[in-house]
Structure 1
Amino acid sequence: MDANSTTYWQDIQILKQLKNSVDTHSVTSGSCIYSWDFTLDPCDYLFKDKFTCGFRCDVVVDGFSRLTELALDSANYSGSLSNVSWNLPYLQNFDVSNNFFNGSVPESFSQLTRLQRLGLSSNSLSGSLPDSLGSLSNLEEMYLDNNKLEGTIPLSFNGLKNLKRLELQGNGLSGDFPELTQLSNLNFLDASDNAVSGNLPANFPASLIELSMRNNQIEGNIPSSVINCAYLQVMDLSHNRLSGSVPPSLFTHPSLQQLTLSYNQYDSVPVPGNSGLTSELISVDLSNNNIHGFLPGFMGLMPKLSALSLENNKFSGMIPIQFALKVLAVGSGSNSGLAQFERLLLGGNYLLGPIPGPFLELELGSVKVQLGNNCLYRCPVRWFFCEGGAQKSLMECRAFGPIIP
């Protein structure tokens, strides 16, 4: 029996269609598509001077090799993917990222029933996302980021039962973000840098580890159900229109390590039930909001918190002694279980009073502390932690609050 196999004829036809759909001016000598010589059999020449890159044939059915992988990464190809009838039932990986393909995402992608990875990142694809993408039930990774896609995110994405990673950032997607609670395997979701509006969905997939939806137009607040995302480690909802009180449940979340809510419209930070003593948070950024009141002293007792940014809010009062001791690492270290503040950014508020004594013991370069643009008494810029702007004028400080002497 002949051990050699030939490429399935329909696969060859689709490869020909793809080559014909590409702008000939973008096919340079020595590139992947340039090497596709259809007078030869693709599967027999994968590692020779023809068909040297771009796809793999490794499934044999009835003596014919089927295409399982097609990749054209960073080759500067242009053209329309919609000109190809995508009927490749054995294809598992399709990646044409970092090119200049234009037009819409083809409806015929729904025929790629065994597809596990779809990479369309960094092209010039436009139009709306087809509902038919939701039929790719074997898909584990989908990269649609950094294109020119518009319209809403289809609710049909709930059909992507095996999806682990969804990247939609850097498009013009709009409307409410849908509930995708049926994606029980989804670990990574990035819909940043779009025009998503309305409130956040009432529920997120419980399997999420990282959630990023920064730089959108999202309003309201974070739903209380986020506590049910027991594996969540990173949340970035900065540059939106979230308002009200920062949910205290975020400071008692069982796994959350990085919380970024900067550039929103929050006005207060309530003390959580257990004062955050069980918090897993390492980094918190609440800068550039409209938060009033005293600095949240409980954050100085959060055991793992080492980076805190509260810049450019309306905080007033004195700097809590907990912050000063945590910066100096008094009582911190491996024995105490309390991490040191390595970055503490408090500039651009209305803090008053003297500089806490422990700050005067800090050495330049040991930590990053910024106290500029406040109402502090005697904070000369020669002290490194007072750099980043002189203190506000006495007139501005008194106009903000009469308790400022």
Structure 2
Amino acid sequence: MGGTLRFTFLLCVASQMLVYYLMPSTVAALSLSSETDKLALLALKEKLTNGVSDSLPSWNESLHFCEWPGVTCGRRHMRVSSLHLENQTLGGSLGPSLGNLTFLKLLMLRNLDLYGEIPAQIGRLKRLQDLIIDINKLEGEIPIELSNCTNLKVIELYHNHLNGRVPSWFGSMQLTWLNLGFNNLVGTIPPSLGNISSLGAMSLSSNHLGGNIPHALGKLSGLKTLYLDINNLSGEIPRSLYNLSNLQSFVLVENKLSGSLPSNMNLAFPNLQYFLVGGNQMTGIFPSSISNITHLNRFDIARNAFNGPIPLTLGRLNKLELIDIGENKFGSGGAHDLDFLSSLTNCTKLSYLSFYMNRFGGQLPDLIGNFSNLVTLDISFNQIYGAIPERIGQLINLTSLDIESNYLEGTIPSSIGMLKNMERLVLQSNKLSGNIPLSIGNLTILSEIYLASNKLEGTIPVTLRNCTKLEKVIMSINNLSGNIPNQTFGYLKGLIYLALFKNSFTGPIPSELGNLEQLSQLFLYSNKLSGEIPNELGGCSSLTILRLSKNFFHGNIPLFLGSSIRSLDMLDLSRNNFSGTIPFILENLTFLNYLGLSFNNLYGEVPTGGVFSNASQISLSGNNNLCGGIPQLKLPACFRKHKRSLKKKHIIISVIGGILISFIAFLAVHFLTGKRKRLPSSPSLQNERLRVTYGDLHEATNGFSSSNLVGVGSFGSVYRGSLLNFEGPIAVKVLNLETRGAAKSFIAECKALGKMKHRNLVKILTCCSSIDYSGVDFKAIVLDFMPNGSLENLLHNNEGSENENHSLSFTQMVDIALDVAHALDYLHHDEEEVVVHCDVKPSNVLLDQDMVAHLGDFGLARLIHGSTGNSSKDQVNSSTIKGTIGYLPPEYGAGGLVSSEGDIYSYGILLLEMLTGKRPTDNMFYENFILHKWCKMKISETILDIVDSRLLVSFAEDQTWIVENNIKECLVMFAKIGVACSEEFPTQRMLSKDVIVKLLEIKRKLRDD
């Protein structure tokens, strides 16, 4: 017993001595480890803040680093276990020192404006469990070193600029949360993600992912949240996903998914709260079984092709807040189409109800007033008739009401004034009549009101002045009359858009409109307004569009239009009674793309600067006493006083004298340089009277000066010049003979153009094959100069065009498309030898002073014997053609024969580029997602989603006007031509003659409107 006690005592003493001797080194080790974390944090701060000393000021020596804001340390080792910073504008990057914080478990760097890549050193954080670096600007790929962090449970990298693919090695991790949404990830969803059995939530929203949804995702039995929306996913939703019975959120909107929904939705997803698959290509009937999914909160199947009846059992969904079934094929135009609304009144939490753009008929029932919690109601673009129920005023929570484009009639109920939360009221394109109710003035937070295209009468109610938040007022195409009320619009200080056109308003323009400093677009045309334009209107300094045509205005064109309002893009004063001269100050409007002055009483000299330098941008007809201007206007010369004429003669004599002196100097230089070779001239291939030498072209282009350079192509450069004895400017295409294929290109182009004559082909004047002053071979083609540059320049920034402010209207676009179609039809059918251009693209479509299009650059052209161009021995294998990526047809890439169908494919892509403003090589297109497929997917109801925004602006109207005047139909027709021409298989493409017929039909519709 005593021995045992003695042994125990000795053991305790030894233990205490061991602790005593080891203590200093342990403390030192802990101190050293802490110092490592401190240095890592300081280095990280330098990177996070870009060295800005004012950022993270508390990270300094006055505090222990464990007390720094956002830093948490473990108690045992005093090492950094958590780094949490958010909602600051640090603006830096992630440094490699991050990898030294090896005890880190939580890394949250949210909304710090960080850029750069995620450092590979992050893979050293073996203890890391939560990685949250979202709402920043990080780029590059997700580093593979992250796979070393085997304890990771949460990865949140959403809302960055990350690229590359979704890593397949995620499948070997035990994640519970994966969020990579709102990045630039490409490729397909890796099936290996289905191996993450612990995953409870996954989001890959808003990327560029394509392909099918992997069947393997159906193995994620614990998954509650799945977000794959806003990608390019295709194919059917895998049936395996309907085994995920724990799913609460199923979000696949805005993809290209097809197929139908299962009939047993309630069994597949008994716990579902969010089911959002809108914006796809799905078909089938409405899944009535959703009525049994008792937890359903949001249901969106809009923008698909579903059909069939809407079940009358939706009222069981007592938790439903949103239902959107718009833009489908529901309804038959029958009287009972809206019966389902009765059931929905039991959904007392419903705040968003949308069934726009379907085929619903019937009357809007009185029970609509029972939806007391509705915030948004959109029933536009249907076939609903009858009156607007008075009980609409009971929807006191409504902020947006849209019943556009139906057959509603009767008056606007005065109860509309009870909707005091209303921000957006859209009643346009119906058959509403009577006066606009005075109660409209009760909507004091209203920002947009659309009443256009009805049969409304009377005057604009003065109570509208109470709606001081208004930004858009659209009352066009009605029967409104009387004066535009004074002291009404002047109170609407935030007004941006005012459209009152096509009514019967009389009297002057209210001077108080000049108080609207933010007004951008003002449409008063086609009324009976009179008087002079008030000078106060010069206060509208933000105006971009002012249309006053078809009224009875008189007086002079006010000078303030060229001084106070400098941002004008469109000014239309045509068909009035304006008199006097055209103010030269209008030349100062550098953004002006259209000026309409036709059919007035204007006289005197027409300016030549600014918008007046382009005949296609101004309209002056109907003013018989105008003179001068640019030659294209073909106006008579202006009479000059004698003194001015004498001054002009002195100038001419001086210029001629200068030219003579220069000519004598030139001859002297020529005779003094006797060692140079005599340069032979080349015979003209097109015009026997026009023979040019290298010297002629050298002089014509000012020595091929860079100031005369107008473009650079694959085989050479194009210069502007002028030749003696030739009227008008010329274009000289100088071949770079060091470029492989340039000589063949020269021969091909001369051969092709030398024998062809058509108004829509670039006219060749001559070819020059000679030697330059250094004795080096020189080859050039002389062509008509096209002052409006290429279609490429007009579509994309107008670089290099003399008319850099010009943007195409839809009418001009159709004309250009028609011109090119005529050119191709001539090449393919009107010659003994079929000519295949092989490089149809916007940069090879040139525009003359009248905006007539000419197809040029035949350097790749091939001649095929026989009018059909099919089985000739002279056909060329396309592997020898080096066309332009994006415009080359698929069969050329596979080595198929060159054919006229190949040109038609390129032409189709050209049309789609004109319509969308997108090049076929735009970054948004990749792999199988090409311009053709994008447009084909959007044709019909969603056509306006892809139309170039600049083109929509050129209509200078709201979208109702576009629909009302068949513009939308014409846009669809134009898109269909482009899609039909660019089909994958040559036999499926349109013939050029059919293209011409369709384009002429569009022109006829536009002209009729």
Shorter chain as denominator, the TM-score bin is 0.7 to 0.9
Q: Tell me, yes or no, if structure 1 residue 214 matches structure 2 residue 465.
A: no
SS of equivalent residue, structure 1 residue 139: coil
Q: Say which of 86, 89, 97 aligns to 2:356.
A: 97
Is the 1:46–1:52 contact (alpha carbons within 8 Å) kept by the matching residues of 2? no
Q: CA distance change for structure 1 residues 66 and 318 in 2, over 3 Å: closer, same or farther?
A: same
Aligned to 2:327: 74
Partners of 1:244 and 1:149 in 2: CA distance: 31
Residue number among 531, 534, 551 corresponding to 1:289 in the alignment: 551
State how far apart, in whole Å, the 2-side matches of 1:308 and 1:169 are.
Answer: 26
Alignment CA distance shift 1:104-1:363 (3 Å): closer
Name the structure 2 match of 1:148.
407
1:373 deviates by 2.0
Q: Counterparts of 2:610 and 2:541 in 1: how far apart (Å)?
A: 25
Secondary structure (helix, strand or coil) at the match of 1:299 reads helix
Corresponding position: 1:164 with 2:419: no
Following the alignment from structure 1 to structure 2, what is the Cα–Cα distance between the partners of residues 207 and 45?
36
Q: Structure 1 counterpart of 2:527, which letter?
A: N
Indicate conservation of the 8 Å contact 2:374/2:395, yes or no: yes
Q: Distance in 1 between matches of 2:610 and 2:544?
A: 21
SS in 1 for 2:361: strand
2:493 corresponds to which of 227, 230, 244: 230
* Seq. identity, %: 27
Q: Is the 1:245–1:266 Cα contact (8 Å) retained in structure 2? A: yes
Give the 5 Å matches for 1:344-359: 344-356=595-607, 358=609
Task: Write 1 or 2 for the structure with the bigger share of helix.
Answer: 2
Quick one: distance in 2 between partners of 1:113 and 1:46? 17
Residues of 2 paired with 1:129 and 1:385: CA distance? 56
- Give the deviation of 1:326 after TM superposition: 2.0
What secondary structure is seen at the aligned counterpart in 2 of 1:354? strand
Tell me, yes or no, if the aligned pair for 1:192 and 1:215 is still in contact at 8 Å. Answer: yes
Task: Give the direction of change, closer, same or farther, for the CA distance of 1:188–1:268 in structure 2 (3 Å limit).
Answer: same
**What CA distance in whole angstroms lies between the structure 1 residues aligned with 2:296 and 2:388?**
36
Q: Of 353, 362, 373, which aligns to 2:613?
A: 362
Q: For 2:430 and 2:493, locate their aligned partners in 1 and report how far apart those are by CA, in whole Å.
A: 29
Question: Gaps spanning 5+ residues in structure 1: where?
Answer: 7-28, 55-63, 330-339, 389-405
Of 130-139 and 280-289, the range deviating more from structure 2: 280-289
Q: Provide Cα deviations, 1:154-211, integer angstroms capped at 9, x if missing partner.
A: 1111111111111111100001111312112211100100000111111211111000
CA distance in 2, matches of 1:343, 1:385: 19
C-alpha spacing 1:270/1:83, structure 2 compared with 1 (3 Å): same
Partner secondary structure for residue 377 of structure 2: strand
Separation in 2, partners of 1:46, 1:360: 56
CA 1:114–1:359: 2 relative to 1, 3 Å: closer
More strand by share: 1
CA distance in 1, matches of 2:475, 2:351: 28
Aligned residues: 336
Per-residue deviation, 1:230: 1.4
Residue 198 of structure 1 is matched in structure 2 by 458
8 Å contact from structure 1 (residues 355, 376) kept in 2: no
Distance 1:263 1:305 in 2: 24
Cα separation, 2, equivalents of 1:131 and 1:286: 37
Q: Is the 8 A contact 2:484 2:506 kept in 1?
A: no
Check conservation: 1:32, 1:72, Cα contact below 8 A: no
1:42 aligns with 2:320: no
**SS where residue 243 of structure 1 aligns?**
strand
Does the C-alpha gap of structure 1 residues 133 and 72 become closer, same or farther in structure 2, counting only changes over 3 Å? same
1:111 and 2:360 equivalent?
no
Match of 1:372 among 621, 630, 634: 621
The 3-state SS of whatever aligns with 1:199 is: coil
Q: Deviations over 1:241-268 (max 9, x none)?
A: 0111111221332322211001001112
> 2:444 and 2:427 mapped to 1: Cα distance?
18
Contact 1:271 1:298 in 2 (8 A): no
2:503 aligned counterpart, secondary structure: coil
Structure 1 distance, partners of 2:326, 2:457, is 32
Secondary structure of the residue aligned to 1:211 is: strand
After TM superposition, the structure 1 = structure 2 runs for residues 279-358 of structure 1, keeping only pairs within 5 Å, are: 279-306=541-568, 307-323=570-586, 325-327=587-589, 329=590, 340-356=591-607, 358=609
Deviation at 1:279, TM superposition (A): 3.1
What aligned pairs does 1:168-187 form with structure 2 within 5 A after superposition? 168-179=427-438, 180-187=440-447
5+ long unaligned stretches in structure 2: 1-245, 249-281, 303-316, 636-848, 851-1009
CA contact (8 A) 1:248 1:269 kept: no
Bigger relative contact order, structure 1 or 2, given CA contacts below 8 A and separation 6+? 1
- 1:126, distance to aligned residue in structure 2 (A): 0.7
TM-score by length of 2: 0.31
Per the alignment, in what secondary structure is the counterpart of residue 98 of structure 1?
coil
Amino acid at match of 1:72: I
- The one-letter amino acid of 1:221's match is N
> How many Å separate the matches in 2 of 1:166 and 1:192?
11
Q: CA RMSD in A?
A: 3.2
Q: Following superposition of structure 1 onto structure 2, how do residues 6-17 of structure 1 map, counting pairs within 5 Å?
A: none
| TM-superposed deviation, 1:361 | 7.6
Distance in 2 separating the partners of 1:373 and 1:352? 11
The alpha carbon displacement at 1:363 in A equals 5.1
Q: Aligned partners of 1:360 and 1:165: how far apart in 2?
A: 37
Report the Cα distance in structure 1 between the residues aligned to 2:541 and 2:297, rounded to whole angstroms. 53
Q: Relative to structure 2, which stretch is displaced further, 371-380 or 124-133? A: 371-380
* CA displacement 1:116-146 (0-9 Å, x = unmatched): 1101101111111111111111111111000
Q: Distance in 1 between matches of 2:628 and 2:410?
A: 51
Instruction: Name the structure 2 match of 1:135.
Output: 394
Change (3 A) 1:378 1:384: closer
Distance 1:248 1:297 in 2: 16
Q: Is the 8 A contact 1:247 1:270 kept in 2?
A: no
| Residue aligning to 2:830 | none
Q: 1:194 to 1:305 in 2, by over 3 A?
A: same
- Indicate if the aligned counterparts of 2:506 and 2:527 stay in contact, CA closer than 8 A: yes
Return the letter of the residue paired with 1:100. R
Q: Match of 1:236, as an amino acid?
A: A
The match for 2:516 is 253
Of residues 632, 640, 652, the one that matches 1:383 is 632
CA distance in 1: counterparts of 2:612 and 2:549, whole angstroms: 26
Maintained 8 Å contact 1:254/1:280: yes
Q: Could you tell me how far apart the structure 1 residues matched to 2:300 and 2:355 are?
A: 16
- TM-score when normalising by structure 1: 0.75
